[in-house]
Amino acid sequence: MLNSNEATAIHPADDLKSYVTPLAEGSQPPTANADDPAWGIGSAIFVWIASLVLMVFVPLLLLLPYASSKGLHTSDPNYVKALAELALSDKTAVLLQVLAILPTHLLTFVLIWAVVTRFGKRPFWATIGWRLSGRFEIWLWVGLGVVLFIVGSTLAWLLGSAKPTQLEQIINSSLAARYTISILAVGTAPFVEEFMYRGLLYAPLQKLAGAPTAVVLVLALFTIIHVPQYWPNVGVIAAVALLSIVLTLVRAFTHRLLPCIIIHLVFNGIQAVLLIAEPYAQKILPGSEPVNPTFVLLPLLHFIR
């Protein structure tokens, strides 16, 4: 729970360096300003690149032993191709990649925490922008999340493609994969993605180049990183771009990260409910069409075909 000091914004000129040295007994620490980060763009880009590397290698740590148990060996001349086929077609292999998202998210959060707090010398929540300006403000962001989901769904329907995306194939591979993605879509994805893009990356970018440039760069990075999941469905990619635009503008105008997390959480939460409900709806209404959810914003491993 946040204390009153962590929830109070201060002027950018206030000195954050006092967090590095011990405070005198009984004194109150200065609060942090999310728009005046103590870390630079170099540290933010390093963590972003490290998160991409984790997205590849953490799933491999789970997938390679399973591939070996299925008779695939690195000495085989067609090993990479066989591994790619296994990763895309074997239900257990697909589930292992989905399960790998959790440690990937946790390790990414540790990296973000280390940079934001300088290994515990600064408060994380206040520094990242975890606060609301009013008691009832949360309902504004919940409502915006619902509206965004409706508009995004309409946009995806109007511009969408009948060809299933890789994420749809993963979701439909097994109930275990569907449930795991649903849980992660609410439990970790909105937090880690917002900490990374609208928190760690946006703050130094707007300080260095100004808010307009930071908004464009962050929404572009957030959208591009999701393209492999949803290609070739232009409608879903457009919906992701819309979400990114709104989230980044909210961060720019409110100077806080918590509203973005609430919106993202509601957006993903609605889709998670649909993901879980769809198989049961098919049993109750056997003549209905599958929902084919496509909005869960999770980074998944994509092998070269």
How many other C-beta atoms can be found within 10 angstroms of the C-beta atom of residue 201? 21
3-state secondary structure 233-282: CHHHHHHHHHHHHHHHHHHHHHCCCHHHHHHHHHHHHHHHHHHHHHHHHH
Report the distance separating Cα 215 and Cα 197, nearest Å. Answer: 10
Mean pLDDT per 10-residue section of the chain, whose length is 305 residues: 45 39 41 85 96 94 94 90 89 94 97 96 94 88 96 88 74 91 94 96 95 93 84 85 94 96 96 89 55 34 29
Entry pTM: 0.82
State both tokens at 178: 């569907």
Cis peptide leading into 232, omega within 30 of 0?
Answer: yes
Q: What is the pLDDT of residue 249?
A: 96
What integer pLDDT is reported at residue 160 of this predicted model? Answer: 75
Percent of the chain that is helix, strand, coil (3-state, to 5): 65, 0, 35
The tens digit of pLDDT for each residue in 200-250 reads 999 999 999 999 999 999 989 998 888 877 877 888 889 889 999 999 999
Radius of gyration for the alpha carbons in the chain, expressed in angstroms and rounded: 21
Burial of 49 (0-12, 13-18, 19+ CB in 10 A): exposed
pLDDT at 215: 94
Q: How far apart are the first and last CA of the chain?
A: 47
Range 57-66, long-range pairs (CB < 8 A, 24+ positions): 58/100, 58/103, 58/104, 58/107, 59/96, 59/97, 59/100, 59/104, 59/301, 60/301, 61/100, 62/96, 62/97, 62/99, 62/100, 63/87, 63/93, 63/96, 63/97, 63/100, 63/301, 66/92, 66/93, 66/96
95-112 pLDDT, tens digit each: 999 999 999 999 999 999
Give the CA distances from residue 220 to residues 56, 98, 180, 213, 259, in Å, rounded to whole numbers and listed in that order: 21, 25, 27, 11, 20
pLDDT at 236: 85
Residue matched to tokens 């009984």:
26
Report the C-alpha gap between 205 and 261 in whole angstroms.
Answer: 19
